[in-house]
């Protein structure tokens, strides 16, 4: 899994600005994400975190700036099988949507297939492996709506990693999930980053629980207020002041 | 039972009915789950305008309706994407305008007659051989196109945003779905008529979704409900001289109620 280590950034963002109508959401954002990073994107509510992630993934189009994914302009990007995306979905999922865990994970395989995107028998093995990684193989035939919020989020992780991507994006993946499940979840992300060499970009509100795992932090508040290592972040008084009350900050490592 | 099947008109009605009902059911599942069930309803009104135009011009109404419905489906889709209109607003504008133009054309042509009534209320027992061929061909085309795009449509219906990050062209798929809906509405109008064709797209699918645990199950159950309703409609029309369109929709509705009850009983733990 992952790409060989190189100095080429996996994500390159230059002078990005975005607005909804006349409301400016992001202004002149510059950011690079390199191989092996475990980057947490933080910021107050309404600071543009999710918008920024959607711009990187080409879901939203900025009025200014350049985005490159794996060295390609996002507008013409085709290597979607190297990208995994976990939306903030579990809390919004339609509980009665008739789709099994297996069918959801299989969706992730489509980015690797040419038209017509039929599933083959060998795909079953890959689906099983992805479900094993998130410890949900026994739930394969269950309807996704029958699972708990934490289990559903693991299914989305399985869908995102089924292609063994180089880059994994997650948007507040633990919203609405209890603390014990969150700990297991982030531990799994740590393994994906360390053992499987997947570069991870995570939007979160709880820095405390991932304190031991992130390597870099980016703080957004319409502009990029901070981007650097965890240690530098802890020494940045401006950032701490900005986030007071909105984030659980822990500035020591175990 | 054997007697009824020896009639040519009954054979034609059964063949056309079965193929059309399967196309309606499969397509309907995607529409219902995308909360886009009104698209079929809106396009059926547009189809009325197309039929009226055909009658006015003296050209085969089925073919004119097909062209008009497909074009309108594409325009509705573009309006949703580009003009920032809410989905039901774009449908509302076209459905009422289509209906209005239809009324004007029918009045001008002076053809407010039995012909028009058969389009409005359906008359599958009077379906002609060439219409059966067109209906079966189009129904098969709809089913095949859906099977080619099945995985992508499923992904897009479940989670459109993530589908885009898998390189799936969601705008293109929306256009495909809109065109297939317009084709299905036009061929479905022969079975249950313009006024009830939306029911054939929605009720069997909604019935299947009551108890299906996987998408594949939803496709199979909804198709079964749809075929069963059309056959029941044909038989009641033959034996009791009731309108096939009305009984088809009422049977589908009764099955929907039954499967809805099963779902409630399952939820309460009374049924497995």
CA-based nearest residue in chain B for residue A102:
B214
Give A-chain residues touching B166 at CB under 8 angstroms: 80, 107-108, 110-111
A6-10, A189-193, B211-215, B230-234 — which is least confidently predicted?
A: A6-10
Mutation for testing the B interface, residue in A107, A108, A114, A127 having most B CBs under 10 Å:
A107
CA distance B18 to B16: 6
Cis peptide before A230 (omega within 30 of 0): no
Select from B142, B174, B143 the least CA-distant residue to B156.
B174
Task: Indicate the pLDDT class of residue A238, thresholds 50, 70 and 90.
Answer: low
Q: What is the distance, to the nearest Å, from the Cα of residue B58 to the centroid of all Cα atoms in its chain?
A: 25
How many other CB atoms sit within 10 Å of the CB of residue B154?
22
CA distance B189 to B187: 5
- Per cent of chain A over pLDDT 90 is 46
Task: Indicate the pLDDT class of residue A254, thresholds 50, 70 and 90.
Answer: very low
Give chain B's length: 272
Partnered with residue B74 across adjacent β-strands are: none
**Contact indicator for B39, B79 with CB cutoff of 8 Å:** no
Taking residues A17-32, report their average pLDDT. 92
Taking residues A166-194, report their average pLDDT. 83
pLDDT at A123 over 70: yes
Q: Could you give all domains of chain A from N- to C-terminal order, each with its CATH number?
A: 11-251 (3.40.50.300)
Q: Which two tokens stand for residue B185?
A: 């509405």
Taking residues A26-45, report their average pLDDT. 92
Select from A8, A18, A15, A6 the least CA-distant residue to A69.
A8
Q: Say if B155 is an interface residue toward chain A (CB within 8 Å).
A: yes
pLDDT at A3 over 80: no
CA distance B84 to A194: 44
Q: Say if B36 is an interface residue toward chain A (CB within 8 Å).
A: no
Q: Which two tokens stand for residue A215?
A: 């390597």
- Closest Cα of chain A to B64: distance in Å? 31
What is the pLDDT of chain A when averaged over all its residues? 85
Q: Shortest CB distance from A108 goes to which of B161, B166, B213?
A: B166
Q: Are β-strands A216-221 and A64-69 bridged in parallel, bridged antiparallel, or unpaired?
A: unpaired
CA distance A10 to B97: 51
Taking residues A110-123, report their average pLDDT. 87
* Backbone phi, psi, residue A39, to 5°: -100, 130
pLDDT at A45 over 80: yes
pLDDT at A247 over 60: no
Count, in order, helices (H) and strands (E) of chain B: 13, 0
Select from B180, B142, B189, B179 the least CA-distant residue to B45.
B189
Q: Say if A96 is an interface residue toward chain B (CB within 8 Å).
A: yes
**ipTM of this complex:** 0.85
Give B79-110 pLDDT, tens digit per residue.
887 776 777 888 899 999 999 999 999 888 87
User: pLDDT at position B64, please?
Assistant: 93
User: pLDDT at position A117, please?
Assistant: 85
A227: helix, strand or coil: strand
Q: Say if B16 is an interface residue toward chain A (CB within 8 Å).
A: no
If you count residue pairs, one on A and one on B, with CB atoms under 8 Å apart, how many are there? Answer: 73
Q: How far is CA A185 from CA A149, A180, A209, in A?
A: 12, 9, 10
Q: Shortest CB distance from B159 goes to which of A58, A78, A89?
A: A89
Q: Which two tokens stand for residue B178?
A: 């809109």
CA distance A5 to A34: 8
pLDDT at A6 over 60: no
User: pLDDT at position B131, please?
Assistant: 85
* Backbone phi, psi, residue A14, to 5°: -130, 120
Cα dihedral value A209, A212, A214, A218, nearest 10: 70
User: pLDDT at position A115, please?
Assistant: 82
Give A-chain residues touching B155 at CB under 8 angstroms: 107, 110
User: pLDDT at position A186, please?
Assistant: 84
CA distance A70 to A79: 8
Taking CB atoms and an 8 Å limit, are B165 and A97 in contact across chains? no
Select from B11, B15, B7, B5 the least CA-distant residue to B133.
B15
Q: How far is CA A254 from CA A38, A213, A216, in A?
A: 17, 10, 17
pLDDT at A67 over 90: yes
CA distance A35 to B69: 51
CA distance B95 to A97: 29
Q: Say if B30 is an interface residue toward chain A (CB within 8 Å).
A: no
| Low-confidence spans in chain B with pLDDT less than 50 | none
Write the CB contacts of B99 (distance below 8 Å, at least 6 apart in sequence). Answer: B45, B46, B48, B49
Count, in order, helices (H) and strands (E) of chain A: 8, 10
Taking CB atoms and an 8 Å limit, are A111 and B148 in contact across chains? no
């Amino acid at each position: 899994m992952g790409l060989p280590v190189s100095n080429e950034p996996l994500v390159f963002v230059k002078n990005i600005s975005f607005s909804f109508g006349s409301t400016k959401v992001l202004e002149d954002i510059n950011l690079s994400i390199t191989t092996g990073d475990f980057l947490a994107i933080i910021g107050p509510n309404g600071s543009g975190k999710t918008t920024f992630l959607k711009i990187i993934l080409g879901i939203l189009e900025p009025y200014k700036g350049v985005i490159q994914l794996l060295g390609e302009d996002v507008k013409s990007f085709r290597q979607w099988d190297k990208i995994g995306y976990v939306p903030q979905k579990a809390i919004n999922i339609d509980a009665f949507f008739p789709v099994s865990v297996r069918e959801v994970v299989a969706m992730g395989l489509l980015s690797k297939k040419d038209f017509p995107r039929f599933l083959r028998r060998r795909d079953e093995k890959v689906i099983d492996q992805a479900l094993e990684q998130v410890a949900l193989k026994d739930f394969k035939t269950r309807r996704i709506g029958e699972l708990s919020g934490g289990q559903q989020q693991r299914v989305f992780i399985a869908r995102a990693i089924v292609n063994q991507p180089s880059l994994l994006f997650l948007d507040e993946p633990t919203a609405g999930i209890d603390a014990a499940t969150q700990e297991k979840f982030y531990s799994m992300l740590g393994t994906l980053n360390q053992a499987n060499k997947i570069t991870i970009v995570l939007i979160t509100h709880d820095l405390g629980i991932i304190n031991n795992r992130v390597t870099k932090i980016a703080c957004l508040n319409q502009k990029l207020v901070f981007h650097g290592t965890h240690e530098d972040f802890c020494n940045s008084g401006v950032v701490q002041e900005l986030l007071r009350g909105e984030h659980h900050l822990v500035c020591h490592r175990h | 039972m054997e007697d009824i099947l020896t009639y040519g008109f009954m054979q034609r009605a059964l063949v056309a009915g079965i193929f059309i009902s399967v196309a309606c059911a499969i397509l309907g599942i995607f529409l219902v789950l995308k909360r886009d069930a009104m698209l079929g309803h809106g396009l059926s009104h547009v189809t009325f305008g197309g039929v009226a135009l055909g009658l006015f011009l003296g050209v085969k109404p089925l073919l004119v309706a097909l062209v008009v419905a497909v074009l309108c489906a594409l325009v509705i889709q573009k309006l949703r994407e580009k003009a920032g209109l809410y989905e039901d607003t774009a449908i509302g504008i076209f459905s009422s305008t289509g209906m209005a133009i239809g009324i004007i054309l029918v009045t001008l042509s002076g053809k407010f007659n039995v012909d028009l009534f058969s389009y409005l209320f359906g008359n599958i027992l009077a379906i002609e051989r060439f219409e059966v061929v067109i209906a079966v061909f189009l129904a098969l085309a709809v089913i095949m196109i859906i099977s080619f795009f099945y995985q992508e449509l499923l992904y897009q219906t479940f989670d459109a945003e993530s589908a885009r990050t898998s390189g799936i062209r969601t705008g293109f798929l929306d256009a495909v779905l809109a065109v297939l809906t317009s084709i299905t509405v036009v061929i479905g109008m022969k079975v249950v008529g313009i006024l009830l064709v939306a029911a054939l797209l929605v009720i069997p699918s909604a019935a299947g979704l009551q108890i299906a645990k996987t998408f594949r199950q939803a496709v199979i159950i909804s198709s079964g409900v749809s075929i069963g309703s059309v056959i029941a409609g044909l038989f009641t029309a033959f034996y009791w001289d009731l309108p096939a369109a009305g009984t088809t929709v009422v049977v589908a509705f009764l099955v929907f109620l039954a499967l809805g009850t099963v779902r409630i009983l399952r939820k309460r733990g009374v049924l497995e």
